[in-house]
Structure 1
């Protein structure tokens, strides 16, 4: 499916019906990665319409020259959310760079966000990033990209990488991402203005963005649950699916209570 958001034609897929859930992927991939990780979470939960867009410059969403930085991408995503949300408060989930945009969206338009979930979030001022360390090794499998992304090296994880992550590489507009990345900081990404139900999940072995910055977010969000997961890296949604399902389920329960009590 496609919709126009400003000057960008955004490609997305959706599943289910009910309250909108906008799920944003990270850099260098497309909607297929979060779709593979979060659809098992929502499959058994009625009442949610899940929307997985390709972010500009990735997947099947082109990034026109008018997108000069992350602020422009943020404007695109806010317009997209307004369209697919139909004016109702929506749930917002982001992984990695998608979580960076999600923080800014919740800060910019907090009344429109019923709940915020940040998984392995990119945050301003990334620090104390650990060296890459593999937690589970079955064999010397996969290519360098797989081995540098996953910390669980098993045939199952390799299959997930080859099916849901690697195919997106051929669709990346590297020049567009470089152009946007030169102005990647968003003034609204600090997160201090959003007080709704929040979930922050980080991998203790995340050698891409680390977990310390994610832990710092606990002080920004007054209604946040924080989980730092051992034996998980930046590919945490693949590597710890059962724990992610439980954490997201608890977050959705808090969102529902918030809605029932009129706080959203």
Structure 2
């Protein structure tokens, strides 16, 4: 299905019935990232309507350059919520999607029941992030040798645990989105990669006291974990912060069982 807002056409899919959960993926991928890690969780859980969306310029959503900013993407998401979600809802966001989740909370906190943030982006400027190093890796070198040089290089950038199982998930959940995003749109978005308002001052004033589940990878070289703990936990009185060892920016793949168990319990 497609949601039309001004010149934007946003692709989305809905599964199940019950309390809505709006799923927002990260930058330069698409809804398949969250479908892949969330679908197994709801095999044994009823009562939730899962709404997956492709952000502008990603997946099957179109890429009008007028929406290549955080403010405009947030505007589109808020319009989508108003037009398609009745009543209160849950949010789930990964990486850049986590940043957008916090933007939504800052605008309409009264409607958000709770939120899941998976390796959320906190510091917009890459150079200012307190990133961690890979002080642990577990690579199946025999399997890695079967990959093309390009696939091996891209997979290794973020991988902490690299074997056939994690690569197959990477290939099904992440690579398809990377192959289809609009490069011009992403280039422009990176130039407007933060909200025009002070998100964290607004959240600090808000004192949002509903449950927040924050996942961080100990070996996450994209956003790290220090900024997540120090930047988000103090803002949310009911936050749970999960720091997983042997996990990077794709922790939902590398620590699949722990990830799924924790979300089932939290829901």
Same fold (TM over 0.5): yes
Segment of structure 1 superposing worse, 53-62 or 162-171: 162-171
Residue equivalent to 1:235: 250
Residue-by-residue CA offset, 1:7-50 (whole Å, 9 max, x unaligned) = 32110122111111001111111001110001111221101010
Residue pair 2:123, 2:129 contacting (<8 A) in 1 also: no
Distance 1:117 1:6 in 2: 29
1:135 positional shift: 2.2
Aligned to 1:189: 199
The answer for the alignment partner of 1:260 in structure 2 is none
Task: Spell out, residue by residue over 1:115-160, the C-alpha distance to the aligned partner (whole angstroms, 9 max, x if none).
Answer: 1111101002653202345521111614211111221111011111
Match of 1:30 in 2: 30
Higher-helix-fraction structure: 2
In the TM superposition, what are the counterparts of 1:51-130 in structure 2 within 5 Å?
51-86=51-86, 88-124=87-123, 127-130=129-132
Could you list the runs of 4 or more consecutive aligned residues of structure 1 that deviate by over 6 angstroms after TM superposition? Answer: none
* Residue aligned with 1:66, SS: helix
**Residues 11 and 60 in structure 1, CA contact (< 8 A), matched pair in contact too:** yes
The TM-score with structure 1 as length reference comes to 0.90
Distance change >3 Å, CA 68–CA 36, structure 1 → 2: closer
Count of aligned pairs between the two proteins: 251
Unaligned runs of 5+ in 1: 253-264
For the 8 Å contact 2:68–2:186, the answer to whether it is kept is no
Q: Within 1, Cα distance between the matches of 2:5 and 2:18?
A: 22
- In 2, Cα distance between equivalents of 1:229 and 1:20: 27
Q: C-alpha distance in 2, partners of 1:55/1:83? A: 16
- Note the C-alpha offset of 1:161: 1.2
Query: 1:207: which partner in 2?
Result: 221
> In 2, distance between residues paired with 1:102 and 1:20?
14
Out of 125, 148, 168, which is 1:159 matched to?
168
Compare 162-171 and 211-220 and name the one that shifted more. 162-171
Aligned match of 1:261: none
Question: Residue deviations 1:152-210, cap 9 Å, x none?
Answer: 11101111111221122221111111112211111253243222111111000000000
Contact 1:20 1:84 in 2 (8 A): no
Structure 2 CA distance, aligned partners of 1:77 and 1:230? 33
Do the aligned residues in 1 keep the contact of 2:159 with 2:250 (CA within 8 Å)? yes
Tell me the SS of whatever aligns to 2:174. Answer: helix
Q: How high is the TM-score relative to the length of structure 2?
A: 0.89
* Shift in Å, 1:70: 0.7
CA shift digits 1:83-136 (9 cap, x unpaired) = 2312x1110000000001001111111011111111101002653202345521
Residue by residue over 1:47-74, the C-alpha shift from the partner in whole angstroms, topping out at 9 and shown as x without a partner, is: 1010110111100001212214110001
Structure 2 gaps, min length 5: none
Contact 1:100 1:189 in 2 (8 A): no
